[in-house]
Amino acid sequence: MKSLYGVIGYPIEHSKSPMMHNAWFRNENFEGYYHPFKIEKNQLGNAIRGMKALQMKGWNVTIPYKEAIIPFLDEVDAAAVAIGAVNTVVYKNGKWVGTNTDGDGFVASLSLKRTKEQLKTSSILLIGAGGAAKGIYYALVNAGVNNIHIANRTVERASSLISKIAADGNFKGISLDSATEQLTQYDIIINTTSVGMYPEIDSVPIEVTNIKAGTLAVDIIYNPLETAFLKAAKERGAETLNGVGMFVYQGALAFEHWTGIRPDIEKAMTMIELNQGGTTC
């Protein structure tokens, strides 16, 4: 009998995770099946009890439950505690353990464009201070980056994020206006918000008129593959990277937690890109 895995969220119909994980199960000849579960907002506790009763081996967590799920788990690892969010649950030694692969998946995806040493010496701007930004900021700090500004509509929220994950270096919360004015000082600019995601595809999280040529502009969005932000940055001579890599790498880390198998990342990226109707920009 196949082991059951899945992803919980609300909504969940748009998720590409079932397609990706089930392809990995087939490719690795692993007896597993991955199913999307749409959980009503007042049914999370009941849903988790049901998943435990079904003896599921693990599952992913997406919006809006990454924080709300924590009280229902037996343990939460150091990364998830620091970030304050769980995106992966693993059944380990008789316990349900929460972890977070988003940040490490994102940093791994940056290897498509930058080496570890290049990353460490880069001046980085994160746009947004929400859940995605928390995981990415934590992983970047752990990767040895010590020059990061976080731009957000509410500067206090950006500053609070930084204060919760203390480290030595140039870490600062700034306004979106300040970031726009000083855009030339950044080597990597990362949109961690949902601005520009389908169907609002003409929206940009920040104006990039001042971006310098050769800067790496990154968007964690992968629908569309090339957001308005990435398109504008490319027109001004920047390199670009969309969210396909982060999506696949974070999923691969979850898959490895569950099975002990490192799946084929390159093949999965090609599958997601083709499913979205194009190629990585």
The type of residue at 82 is A
> At 90, which amino acid appears?
V
**Which residues of the chain does CATH 3.40.50.720 include?**
104-243
Q: Please tell me the distance from the alpha carbon of residue 211 to that of residue 241, in angstroms, as a whole number.
A: 15
Q: What are phi and psi of 268, to 5 degrees?
A: -65, -40
What's the distance, CA 166 to chain centroid?
A: 21
Q: Are 95 and 119 in contact (CB under 8 A)?
A: no
pLDDT at residue number 280? 43
110 token code pair? 């940056």
- Shortest CA distance to 44 belongs to which of 62, 30, 65? 65
Catalytic annotation, residues: 66
Domain made up of 3-100: CATH architecture: 3-Layer(aba) Sandwich (3.40)
Binding site for NADP(+), by residue number, is 128-132, 152-157, 220, 243
> Which architecture, in CATH terms, is 104-243?
3-Layer(aba) Sandwich (3.40)
pLDDT value of position 14: 87
Strand residues in the chain grouped as ranges (E): 3-9, 32-38, 58-61, 75-76, 88-92, 95-99, 124-127, 147-151, 170-174, 188-191, 216-219, 239-241
**Global confidence as pTM:** 0.94
What distance in Å separates the CA atoms of residue 17 and residue 9, rounded to the nearest whole number? 12
Q: What confidence score (pLDDT) does residue 281 get?
A: 39
Give binding residues as ranges.
Answer: 15-17, 62, 87, 102, 128-132, 152-157, 220, 222, 243, 250
Tens digits of residue pLDDT in 235-272: 999 999 999 999 999 999 999 999 999 999 999 999 99
Q: In what order do the strands lie in the sheet with 88-92?
A: 32-38, 3-9, 58-61, 88-92, 95-99, 75-76
In the chain, CATH 3.40.50.10860 covers 3-100
Would you state the structure tokens that stand for residue 140, as one six-digit string?
């970047």
Annotated binding-site members for shikimate:
15-17, 62, 87, 102, 222, 250
Tell me the C-alpha distance between 120 and 188, whole Å: 11
Residues of the chain with pLDDT under 70: 279-281
Would you say 212 and 184 are in contact if contact means Cβ atoms under 8 Å apart? yes
User: Would you state the pLDDT for residue 279?
Assistant: 54
